[in-house]
Amino acid sequence: MEKKICIGERWIGKNEPAFIIAEMSANHNMDYERAKKIIKGVKDAGADAVKLQTYTPDTITIDCDNDYFQINQGTLWDGTTLYKLYQRAYTPWEWQADLKAYAESLGLICFSSPFDFSAVDFLESIDVPAYKVASFEITDIPLIRKIARLGKPILISTGIAYLKDIELAMQVCREEENDKVILLKCTSTYPSPYEDMNLETITALQNTFDCIVGLSDHSMGYTVPITAIAKGAKVIEKHVTLHRSDGGADAEFSMEMDEFKEMCKQIRIAEAALGKVSFDLTEAQKKEREHSRSLFVVCDMKKGERFSPENVRSIRPGFGMHTKYYDQILGKIAATDIKKGTPMNWSLIDSGEN
């Protein structure tokens, strides 16, 4: 039975178009009007949904500058602390209900990634239709359990997860009787090198967990998302910004609007090309089939003359006898005079031949 999950009024499943999510993240740069411009931009570009992040510096970490809280893993954000990064990256909660209403007025689905219990409670108060568990929260089992109990669809990124982490997260969701889970293949480096994407894992996730699978992508460009579509991804998530040159915590690996629009276009083209399993021919293909090979008389023949490789050949077009009869025809006698260019058929053969 085909698995399908509904977010808002949008169905996600094998025979549905890919669900395209624009991740705003920190790219609002603490400007509410800029956040609205991003939402309008991704709607015009072809997104199905826009995603926010719901945390404050104090709900995601603590204000501490000892070695444990320094960022020094070779990232874009090295040289600061977690707390200072999140101070400039978080989306003010007082914006989020209005941004959700604005997105919905444009026909977009809007939901968020919560990072603690208070964020879940807040998002429930504004009635989000789904939840995203970010890569680094896949190990927060109490958070996943709280979200799962709500019974809403959950998208879980796997960027820093070992297989055992994914198994545990899925087990918790199923213990809470929530099977509305979409796993997102993810590589948590920013930007992600192409050689680290390992998109073959999409198929493995589908087979292992019997669920809908998508891609949360931090690579540059849209080659990886298009390839993921070909591997069966039914959700694509990409960070977006107005202009990378505007700066911001996530700007460097985010798509600008024209790039995001082109990605959406290419995804829909890829889906159209993938189509379905079919050995039927379209009417246009049937017409083109007329130019396939068949048996023709290729030089003038007299009645009583024998058919031979010199006067019967497999050539284009396809109006003659099927080529599979070639060997049966050779050596037979012509029943009548035949003009060069005549499609071969059984009536041209003398049926009374001994």
Asked if the model's pLDDT at residue 221 lies above 80, the reply is yes
CATH number for the region 10-55+90-274 comes to 3.20.20.70
**What pLDDT score does 354 carry?**
44
pLDDT (tens digit, 9 = 90+) per residue, 9-23?
A: 999 999 999 999 999
What span, in angstroms and rounded, lies between the C-alpha atoms of 246 and 235? 28
78 has a pLDDT exceeding 90: no
Where do the domains of the chain lie? Answer: 10-55+90-274, 283-348
- Structure confidence by residue, pLDDT tens digits, 160-196: 999 999 999 999 999 999 999 999 999 988 999 999 9
Say if residue 353's pLDDT is above 60: no
Model confidence over 235-292: pLDDT tens digits?
999 999 999 999 988 899 999 999 999 999 999 999 999 999 999 999 999 999 999 9
CA dist list (Å): 143 to 32, 83, 108, 117: 28, 20, 26, 6
- pLDDT given at position 225: 98
Q: 223-234, pLDDT tens digit by residue?
A: 999 999 999 999
Position 242 scores a pLDDT of 97
Ordered DSSP codes for 7-41: ETTEEEETTS--EEEEE-TTTTTT-HHHHHHHHHH
Question: At the top level of CATH, which class does the domain 283-348 belong to?
Answer: alpha beta
3-state secondary structure of 335: coil
CB 236 within 8 A of CB 225: yes
